[in-house]
Chains A and B, each alone.
Chain A
Amino acid sequence: MISLLQQTAPVVVEQTETVTITESADAAGHAADAAHAAAAAHGAESAAGMPQLDISTFGNQIFWLLVTLAVLYWVLSRIALPRIGGVLSDRQGAITGDLMAAEEFKQKAKEAEAAYDKALADARAEANKIVAANKAEIQKELDKAIAKADAEIAARTAESEKRIGEIRTSAVEDARSVARDVTEELVRTFGGTSDQALVNEAVDQRLKGALQ
Chain B
Amino acid sequence: MAAAEEEVGGLVFHPMDQFIVKPLFGDGPISWYTPTNAMLWMALSALAVIALLVFGTRGRAIVPSRSQSIAELTYGMVRKMVEDITGKEGLKYFPYVMTLFCFILFANALALLPMSFSPTSQIAVTAVLAFMVFFFVTILGFVKNGSHFLGLFWVSSAPAAMRPVLAIIELISYFVRPVSHSIRLAGNIMAGHAVMKVFAAFAAVVALAPVSILAIVGVYALEVLVVTIQAYVFTILTCVYLKDALHPGH
Residue of A nearest to B100 (CB): A69
Please tell me which one of the listed residues A57, A80, A86, A87 contacts residue B54 in the complex, with CB atoms under 8 A apart: A80
A173 at the interface (CB under 8 A from B): no
Docked CA distance A110–B191 (Å): 67
Q: How far is the CA of A58 from the CA of B131 in the complex (A)?
A: 14
Q: Report if A57-B30 is in contact (Cβ < 8 Å); known contacts: A35-B3, A75-B50, A76-B95.
A: yes
Q: A52-B186, A81-B94, A85-B75 are in contact. Are A76 and B42 (CB under 8 A)?
A: no
Interface of A is mostly: helix
A198 within 8 A of B: no
- Chain A contacts with B in 1-40, Cβ cutoff 8 A: 1, 4, 7-8, 11-12, 14-15, 35-36, 39-40
Q: Are B46 and A46 in contact (CB under 8 A)?
A: no
| A88-96, A130-138, A154-162 - the one binding chain B | A88-96
Q: Give the contact-size bracket for chain A.
A: 35 or more
Residues from chain B with a CB closer than 8 A to the CB of A60 are 21, 30-34, 36, 38-39
Alpha-carbon distance between A35 and B241 when the two chains are bound, in angstroms: 38
Query: Is the beta-carbon distance between A87 and B38 smaller than 8 angstroms?
Result: no
Q: Does A152 contact B (CB under 8 A)?
A: no
Residues of A near B68 (CB, < 8 A) are 87
What are the residues of chain A within 8 A of B158 when measuring CB–CB? none
B232: shortest Cβ distance to chain A, in Å?
A: 18
* Extra 6 A-B pairs, beta carbons < 8 Å, given A47-B4, A80-B53: A60-B34, A61-B38, A61-B119, A64-B43, A66-B128, A80-B54
**Residue positions of A touching B, CB distance < 8 A:** 1, 4, 7-8, 11-12, 14-15, 35-36, 39-40, 42, 44-54, 56-66, 68-69, 71-73, 75-77, 79-81, 83-88, 90-91, 94
Q: Please, could you name 17 A-B residue pairs with CB atoms under 8 Å apart, sorted by A?
A: A1-B190, A35-B4, A39-B1, A47-B17, A47-B19, A50-B16, A52-B121, A52-B124, A56-B29, A57-B30, A60-B32, A61-B119, A72-B46, A76-B53, A76-B95, A77-B99, A83-B57
Which chain B residues have a beta carbon within 8 Å of chain A's beta carbons? Answer: 1, 3-6, 14-17, 19-22, 27, 29-34, 36, 38-39, 42-43, 45-46, 49-50, 53-54, 57, 60-62, 64, 68, 71-72, 75-76, 94-96, 98-99, 102-103, 119, 121-125, 128-129, 186-187, 190-191, 194
